[in-house]
Structure 1
Amino acid sequence: MMKIETVNNKEIVISIDHHKYIKKTKISLLLWLILPSIMIILNVTPFFLLIIAELFILVTFIISYYHFKKYNIILEKLIVKENSLVIQNINNDEKIIFNEEIKIDEIKEIFFKDELGVYFSRGGGLGDKRKFLKIKTSYKVFSFGILIENEDYKKIRAVIKEKLKI
């Protein structure tokens, strides 16, 4: 869900919330814990091997869930200031994972790009394209807005062009 709001009549904050997709991913992680456990319980007869296999699955799940929770992006923000853009990625604990400021004179191009990849689509199934807003500078290309639609891209681009006058 994309939100555009003005802060202090100076900055425009464009935020994209990914809570809906995160819930789907958490459910799939739980399924990957439960399904192998059921298969092991039904197929492994020695009790000692059963416990070792279950502990292995549980430890693997705990490590992957910790990594998922720590590094997963819940909220993406694009802050349009008077002379710069700030891209922020925020995780579940409200910690900023990525924070980069881009000056206006460094921006060469702003474009929309589709990339192949697997993700949870808005319709509830698996999709095959990821869509990004790309900001090209003289030294790097920045991405913003995983899974944005072309209409959202046009709105964001119009806001950036209007505010920064590029």
Structure 2
Amino acid sequence: MSLSRLAGWLSRRAENLLVAMLLVMFLVFLLQILSRYLLNLPIGWTQEVSAMLWVWMVLFGAAFVIRDDEEMRFDLLYRGVSPRIRRGMTAVSAGCTVLAFAVALPAIWDYVTFMKVEKSAYLRIRFDWLYSIFVVFAVAMILRHVWIGFRAIYGPDTTETGKPGSAQ
């Protein structure tokens, strides 16, 4: 299996996992509505599961599912400059992102590992397990932006095409 096929397969599995998390969150939300408003029997663990899944969906999705060309940008200035300047802007912003996450990573790690002392109220899930996705997200952002910066500096000039996957 080629590297691009493997990457495509892993990308689809990440999307599948994100969809599964969304489905579970939706079903738990429906259960919460049913139990609270129809049975008049509120259950607290459903709120915990919904909140935990929301955290995981946002960070997992940003780390592994959202592509670079799908991110929201304010590109009024970016579109008004030459392709060479765009590449420079992309490289500088990628470098700043890498630097920010790399500097923050030890503090992120410390905070997440410190949270092992706390547990959720109903399910008794340790908060370090819950927030471990934040460490994964930070590392993924570092790697992604190293690649974006590398592409901006050494890759082919694709800034004028405007095609998905180009260094925009």
Does TM-score exceed 0.5, indicating one fold?
no
Structure with the bigger percentage of helix: 2
| TM-score normalized with structure 1 length | 0.31
Structure with the bigger percentage of strand: 1
| TM-score normalized with structure 2 length | 0.31
